[in-house]
Amino acid sequence: MKQLAIATVGLLISHFSFGQTPADKQKVESLLKQMTLEEKVGQMAQVTLGVVASAEDGVLNPAALKKAVVDYRVGSILNVTNHALSVDQWTKVITQIQDETKNSRLKIPVLYGLDGIHGQTYTLDATLFPQNIGMAATRNPELAKAVTKVAAKELRASGVRWNFAPVLDLGRQPLWSRFPETYGEDVYIGKTMGATVIKAYEEDGLRNPTAVASCMKHYLGYSASRTGKDRTPIYMPEIEMREYYLPQFREAVKAGASTVMINSSEINGTPVHASKYLLTDVLRKELGFEGVVVTDWEDIKRLNDRHFVASTPRAAVAMAVNAGIDMSMVPTDFSFYDLLIEAVKKNEVPMTRIDDAVRRILLLKAKLGLFDNPYPEKNAATNFGKPEYQTLALDAAHEAMTLLKNDGNILPIPKTAKILVAGPAAQSISALNGCWSYTWQGKDETWYPKDSKTIFQTIADKIGAGNVITTTAKGFDAPQNFDTAALKNAAASASAIILCLGENAYAESPGNITDLALPENQINLAKAAWATGKPVILVLTEGRPRFITSIEPQMKGVLMAYWSGKKTGEAIADVLFGDYNPSGKLPYSYPRSMGEIVMYDRKPTEEIREIFNSDMTMDGYKPLFAFGAGLSYTTFEYGDIQLSSKQLQGAAKLNVSITVKNTGTRDGKHTVELYTHDQYASITPSVQRLRAFQKIDLKAGESKVVTFTLDKNDLAFVNEKLKTITEPGDFDVMIGNKKATFSYIQ
C-alpha cells in the first residue's frame, strides 16, 4: 500500500500507559538488561495449549511443558485442545504452567490468552451473551458494558487475563463467515460499541481481578473480502479504508486497548502482517498505539507458504517483525523462535526491534500483575457463575430481539393457542448460540450447560406442553426437522405455526458459503408450512442475513433472533407471547437478492435505477428489511426537530432535540436514531449517515425530549487527500420521518 501523509503524532495521546506504574517500567528495563537474545525471542513466541498438553483435555505433558517454558522460554500460551474446561481445570492448568516458569532462569510468567467472544467461550458453564451482531441490535452501549464486565470476571475467574476480543471488523460483506462477530454495517455503531467494550474490559485496572487485557481485532479491513471467504484478498482504496474501516480502531486506541490482533488477509496485494505502513506508520505513529501487536493463527508462516511474498520461512519472520509484529501466534511449534534468532544473528532484524517488542510484552505482563502473582486468584474465582449473570443474559437477549414483520398484529400470540413448532432450529441449542460456544465451532452440544433450553422447550414452558406440538427432533441436522409431510399432518390440529429457520453454528473458514440463500430443505419446509393455510411466524436464528425473499410474503410475522446466547430461547418465547415488548433494531440492511446488496449509507448514484432516462427510478436501496428496521407492540410518534441554532460555526456545539411520545397502549423501549446528510461536498456525500442514537424507555402515553449534541467532527469525512475534514455547507439532520437543515461555517 502506498505510503501517504501521516497525521501529526504530537497531537495524539497515548493510552497504553494507563495502569502502568514507574515500578513496572523499572522492573521491565531491569529485566531487559539481563535477558539473552534467546530469552527475548522466547517472549515473542506464543504456542497453543496442544503443544504442552496430553491427549486428554486439561492435562499437561510435563516434558512438553518444560520444553516450551524452560527451553524455549515462550511468553504466551493460548487456546484449548478440543473444548471448554471447568474453572477447576483451568486453575490446575495455569498453576502448572506458572509453576514451570519458576524453573526458568528469569522466572518470567506466561501470559495466557483465550477467545472470549460473547462471554467466556472456553470455561464450562460460563455465561454466553448475544454475539456482537445481536448486541448491535440492542443499540444499548450500557448493556454492552454490563455483559463485558461479566465476561471479564469469568475470564479472570478462570485464571485468564488476556481476551482476544472485541472484533471491530465492519459487517458490510454478508457472505463473510465472521459476520456475526461484527457490530454490523455502520461505522458509528461499530466504534461506539467497540470503544465501550474496550473500556469495560480494562477500566477497573488490569491488576484488578475484574479486568482483563482486551485485544482489538482484526486490524485492518479483514471483513472486506472480495469473495466473502475467510482469509481471502481485499482490494480497497485508502479513502474507503479510512472512512469505514479505520475509525473503530482509532476509537479503540483512545479507549485504552492493550493489544491488537492483525488481519490474516492481504490488502491490495500486501499481507497486513508484512505491511510496515499499516503496522508502524498508521497504527503506531498515526493512531498512537503503544500496546502489543499479536499475529493471528499461523499468519507469519503464511507469508511464505500462502501469500508467497517471502521466499523462505526465515524471510517471513524477518518481514513480519520488521513490519511491526511483537508476538507470533506460531502456534503449533517453535519454528518462529529458531528462525528469529537466526535472523537477528544475520542482521536481518535489528536488536532494537526485538527490545521494542519484548518491552511491550513485559509491560503488559507487569500491568496485569503477573509478576506479583501469576496464579489464578481466589478472589477472582468468587466472581464466576453468579445468578444475576443469567438475568443479564436474558436482558441482553430480550433487547436483541428484532421484530421485522407483524402483519395484522398476528403477534403476540394468545397463550391459549395451539402451536406447531417446526424447523431445524426448534430443538437446537447450538443454533441459538453460534460460534465460540464452549468449542470453537459451537456445534457440539455436549458441552453446553445442562439447563440450556431450546425454542420448543421455552414455548412449552410458556403456554403449557399440552398446547404445543412439534415435528422436530433434537439437533439442527436431524432428518425429522425437514419432513414436510409430517409438518402438513401436524398442522391440522394447530392454530398457528412457529417456523424456526436459519443457520447452525459455525466459526471462521468452516462457515464459508457460496450463496446467501437458505438451504433448499428449509425453503421447502417454509412452503409446506404456508400451504397448510395456517398463519406462519418465522423465527430466524442466524449469524448473517440469509435470503428469505421467496418465502417472506407468505410469513405473517418475522422475528430476527440472531445468535443471542444462553437465553435466546426464553427471549424468543417472551416476545412471541407478549411477555416482552421487542425493541431491537437491525444493524445491517437485510438484502433482497444477491445483485442488490447495497448499504444504508449509500451514495446518491446507488439510488438510481434506469433503462432510459424516462424510466429512471430512485429505488436502488431496496433491501428486504432496511438498516434500523425493528417493530414494537406499541407505537411512537415524533414531534418536529428543534435546533439550538440554524448555524454551527467552528468548534461550537449544536443541540438537536425532538419530543418522542409512546402513543400506544404498552410500555416500550425505543431507539431514537439521528442521521445527517451533507447536501454538497467535494467527495460525493452519502444519502445518510448515522451520527448518534439514544435508547429510551417510555410508558404508554408518556413523552420525552431527547437531545443530541453535534459538533463539526460528527459531520466529517475523508477527502481525496485522505484528510478527515468538515467542509462548510448545508446539512440535513433526520430523525424518523422528521428533517431539519442547518449550515456549518468554518
Cα 282 from Cα 188, distance rounded (Å)? 20
For residue 457, give the 3-state DSSP assignment: helix
For β-strands 259-262 and 215-219, DSSP reports them as parallel
- Cell 509453576 -> residue: 99
Determine contact, residues 64/96, Cβ cutoff 8 Å: no
Determine the residue type at 416.
T
Cα 656 from Cα 674, distance rounded (Å)? 9
For β-strands 266-267 and 162-163, DSSP reports them as unpaired
Determine contact, residues 310/277, Cβ cutoff 8 Å: no
- Cell 411512537 -> residue: 636
In terms of Cβ atoms closer than 10 Å to its own Cβ (0-12, 13-18, 19+), residue 693 is buried
- Cell 479510512 -> residue: 242
Nearest Cα residue to 295 out of 337, 264, 334: 264
Hey, which residues does 111 pair with through a beta bridge?
Answer: 76
Cα 238 from Cα 653, distance rounded (Å)? 30
Distances (CA, A) of 370 to 19, 38, 208: 13, 21, 11
Cα 555 from Cα 536, distance rounded (Å)? 5
In terms of Cβ atoms closer than 10 Å to its own Cβ (0-12, 13-18, 19+), residue 331 is buried
C-alpha dihedral (613, 619, 620, 622), degrees to nearest 10 = -160
Determine contact, residues 581/630, Cβ cutoff 8 Å: no
In terms of Cβ atoms closer than 10 Å to its own Cβ (0-12, 13-18, 19+), residue 92 is middle
Provide the grid cell at 685: 456525500
- Cα 605 to its chain centre, rounded Å, is 31
In terms of Cβ atoms closer than 10 Å to its own Cβ (0-12, 13-18, 19+), residue 128 is buried
For residue 445, give the 3-state DSSP assignment: helix
Contacts of 383 by beta carbon, 8 Å cutoff, 6+ apart: 153, 154, 156, 157, 209, 210
Nearest Cα residue to 456 out of 587, 573, 611: 573
Provide the grid cell at 618: 430512485
Order across the sheet with 292-294: list the strands.
Answer: 215-219, 259-262, 292-294
296 belongs to the catalytic site: yes
Q: At what angle do helices 568-576 and 387-400 cross, to 10 degrees?
A: 50
Determine contact, residues 583/593, Cβ cutoff 8 Å: no
Distances (CA, A) of 24 to 27, 99, 365: 5, 22, 9
Among 230, 296, 326, 601, the active-site one is 296
Provide the grid cell at 370: 503477573
For residue 602, give the 3-state DSSP assignment: coil
Contacts of 491 by beta carbon, 8 Å cutoff, 6+ apart: 420, 497, 529, 532, 534
Q: Which long-range contacts (CB under 8 A, 24 or more apart) does 383-388 make?
A: 383/153, 383/154, 383/156, 383/157, 383/209, 383/210, 384/87, 384/123, 384/126, 384/153, 384/154, 384/157, 384/158, 385/125, 385/126, 385/127, 385/154
Whether residue 331 has a cis bond before it, omega within 30° of 0? yes
Determine the residue type at 313.
P
Catalytic residues: 296
